[in-house]
Structure 1
Amino acid sequence: MARRKQTVTMWQVAERAGVSQATVSLVLNNVEGNRVAEATRNRVLDAVKDLDYRTNAFAKSLRSGESGMIGFISDEVASAPFAGQLLKGAQLAAWETGNVILSVDTYNEPDLEAAAIDMMRSYRVRGVVYASMYHRLVELPASLDGIPTVIVNAQDRAGTVPSVFPDEELGGYAATRHLIEAGHTRIAMINIQDVDSDLPAGIGRLAGFRRALAEAGIAERPDWIRHGSGIVEDGLEITTALLTADDRPTAIFCGNDRTAWGAYRAIERLGLSVPDDCAIVGFDNHEMIAPYLDPGLTTVELPYEQMARAGLEILLAGGGEQPSRTPIECTLIPRGSVSKAKVPS
């Protein structure tokens, strides 16, 4: 059995450098105004390196009341295939500012969430990023009171803390404008939620779709605005209905990439092709779907990493006097699923 490496103590560092433990502490904590000579400081640092000494960050946080840790509490972000970019962005931004992320996925379990918050309080985190796998309205747990908090990829229903979220309306507008600029005027939309849903994602994307049509002077067709649930099967069923009608669209804006995948399947089953018979634009830029459809799916990318970075900046800056609402632009990713509309013969 391998022997466990013995922990090096500050006393051993002091002995190696030929100084007192107090001098080692002054050097390692970079105490302002200390009068440690440069040569002595270098001896301490050399001893630290030679002995591979590690400071006790937890003990240091108990003494100072601060730590270099930032809590990251989410529903399923860390385990989601594409929303995981939120955690990546938070980790990178934290590292660049001399901090580390303490992350917990709660899977919407209240007991697990409560335990995670208790743990983060015990570690005296500098603040908490409260993140969601999808854009929704959330209610912060009361146990976060007193901890600097920012919500990412969601919005605070009560408006008491800063929120950073995707600009869904601008994304829906960009997707629809792309179709219009390709010459399409017969454009349908398959949304990802019921008409009565309060989820900001579908509400914003539909608002952007309508704004683009209105600006272009294209009359909205209520029968061409359909409501699904964001799954492949809905895309298949609704696209089939739209394209087998006597009066059919030449382009469809799908509220997410899974719906667009279903639209592709419907078009193929009908003996038609993308984009010649029907152009398709999605939303999400799902890394496991959009690049691999044939042709590649033109879609709008959710700004996961940018949202996380913006959230960290707000948190570390103190959040300001008034809770902010910060929409982050979603970028159009052109691929092969849109071509110029055919001129009627």
Structure 2
Amino acid sequence: MATIKDVARHAQVSTSTVSHVLNKTRFVSPEITARVQQAIDELHYAPSALARSLKSNETRTLGMLVTSSANPFFAEVVQGVEQRCFELGYSLVLCNTRDDKQRLNASMEMLLQKRVDGIILMYTQAHLGAEVFDRYPSVPLVLADWGPMDMEADLIQDCGEQGGRLATEHLIHLGHRDIGCITGPLGKRAADERLAGFRAAMATAGLPIRPEWIVEGDFELAGGSSAMAALLTRPERPTAVFVGNDMMAVGALRALADAGISVPAQMSLVGYDNIELAHYLVPALTSIEQPKAGLGALAVDTLLARIKAPDTPRQVLTLTPELVVRDSSRTPA
């Protein structure tokens, strides 16, 4: 692998001249610049990222802590983060925490050892709180919709209450009056806000909320399946259900199919997140769209702004959810 000394020798200039050409720190004549550039091309020289980072005190590398990049929602956000990093010439180091505090701590230490310029947090173990990050007060952080909300970090959040209201109002406008809800794990902001939106829409429409038709899930496939199976054991069942995320909605569809219940002929479903899979389900899932790629790009832009201006006031940015109507919802029979 060629070094800067090899380039200088090949171009018959000093190493400092090569450095000035690379970094544009001093005027170098066009003739010598061309000679240095030719030597770089012929030797396939690539400047050391480590050396540059030591000199500039930045690595142009960002870290991201996510619960699981295998989850379609998180995966689509990660794609948005990676694409924005690529556009801006940054590298991304992705760490899956898998709801494990030990992995979270180990990942954080690894990112700091790699001297990342900042970190995007998107993980569900909010019960860990901000104390995990209190040991690293100088590291720029951005919360991308998930994480401990009590942190003094920039926050990009989904307006879950508005989304829950949109989903429920859609079912009400279709003519449903007996509406249930499968929530995420209560106590987590996303689950609580979406349930609050469901309650608000029902109250505005003057419709009763039946406690036995509100079942807690876990934002995962199995949780959606078991929650719907539990709902189907009730003496009476709703004609429509708002499900707190698309992963649980997929599980709920499985439970309904196993029970021989047709969607939407016998029960309408609305999910949340509008993951790519929602379009390909049978029936295609009506869902609340979160701009996932936009969330990822905005997280990167917000983090870079924080890195450049660390003393500016904390930002709280809110994304606007939208209803995407597909085949899983219709007027009640």
Q: TM-score, normalised by structure 1?
A: 0.83
Counterparts of 2:311 and 2:286, CA distance in 1: 38
Q: Does structure 2 conserve the Cα–Cα contact (< 8 Å) formed by 1:239 and 1:267? A: no
| Residue in structure 2 matched with residue 4 of structure 1 by the alignment | none
Letter in 2 for 1:30: K
Counterparts of 2:84 and 2:169, CA distance in 1: 33
Counterparts of 2:255 and 2:98, CA distance in 1: 34
What is the CA deviation profile of residues 269-324 of structure 1, one whole-angstrom value per residue up to 9, with x for unaligned ones? 55542112221112233445x34432122122444332222221111112663323
- Structure with greater Cα Rg: 1
Go from structure 1 to structure 2 and tell me whether the alpha carbon gap of 1:235 and 1:327 turns closer, same or farther (over 3 Å shift): same
Task: Determine which of 20, 26, 35 is the counterpart of 1:26.
Answer: 20
SS in 2 for 1:84: helix
State how 1:271-310 maps to structure 2 within 5 Å. 271-288=260-277, 290-310=278-298
Letter in 1 for 2:57: G
Counterparts of 1:309 and 1:25, CA distance in 2: 33
Q: Does structure 1 conserve the Cα–Cα contact (< 8 Å) formed by 2:122 and 2:147? A: no
| Residue in structure 2 matched with residue 96 of structure 1 by the alignment | 87
Task: Determine which of 236, 256, 278 is the counterpart of 2:228.
Answer: 236
State how 1:6-155 maps to structure 2 within 5 Å. 7-31=1-25, 34-77=26-69, 79-132=70-123, 138-139=129-130, 140-155=132-147
Go from structure 1 to structure 2 and tell me whether the alpha carbon gap of 1:112 and 1:270 turns closer, same or farther (over 3 Å shift): closer
Q: Does structure 1 conserve the Cα–Cα contact (< 8 Å) formed by 2:225 and 2:254? A: no
Counterparts of 1:190 and 1:141, CA distance in 2: 32
State how 1:320-331 maps to structure 2 within 5 Å. 321-331=312-322
Go from structure 1 to structure 2 and tell me whether the alpha carbon gap of 1:101 and 1:227 turns closer, same or farther (over 3 Å shift): closer
The CA deviation at 1:146 is 0.8
Q: TM-score, normalised by structure 2?
A: 0.85
What is the CA deviation profile of residues 206-255 of structure 1, one whole-angstrom value per residue up to 9, with x for unaligned ones? 1111222233343434443333444143233233135x52xx43211122
Counterparts of 1:233 and 1:117, CA distance in 2: 34
The CA deviation at 1:201 is 1.8
What is the CA deviation profile of residues 150-172 of structure 1, one whole-angstrom value per residue up to 9, with x for unaligned ones? 12231434331112232221221
Counterparts of 2:60 and 2:325, CA distance in 1: 40
State how 1:157-168 maps to structure 2 within 5 Å. 157-168=149-160
Task: Determine which of 211, 232, 252 is the counterpart of 2:241.
Answer: 252
Bigger fraction of residues in helix: 2
SS in 2 for 1:63: helix
SS in 1 for 2:94: strand
Letter in 2 for 1:19: V
C-alpha RMSD over aligned residues = 2.7
Q: Does structure 2 conserve the Cα–Cα contact (< 8 Å) formed by 1:155 and 1:164? A: no
Counterparts of 2:321 and 2:262, CA distance in 1: 27
The CA deviation at 1:265 is 4.3
Q: Does structure 1 conserve the Cα–Cα contact (< 8 Å) formed by 2:163 and 2:288? A: yes
The CA deviation at 1:111 is 4.8
Unmatched 5+ stretches in structure 2: none
Go from structure 1 to structure 2 and tell me whether the alpha carbon gap of 1:103 and 1:228 turns closer, same or farther (over 3 Å shift): closer
| Identical counterparts, % of pairs | 32
Unmatched 5+ stretches in structure 1: 1-6
Aligned residues: 326
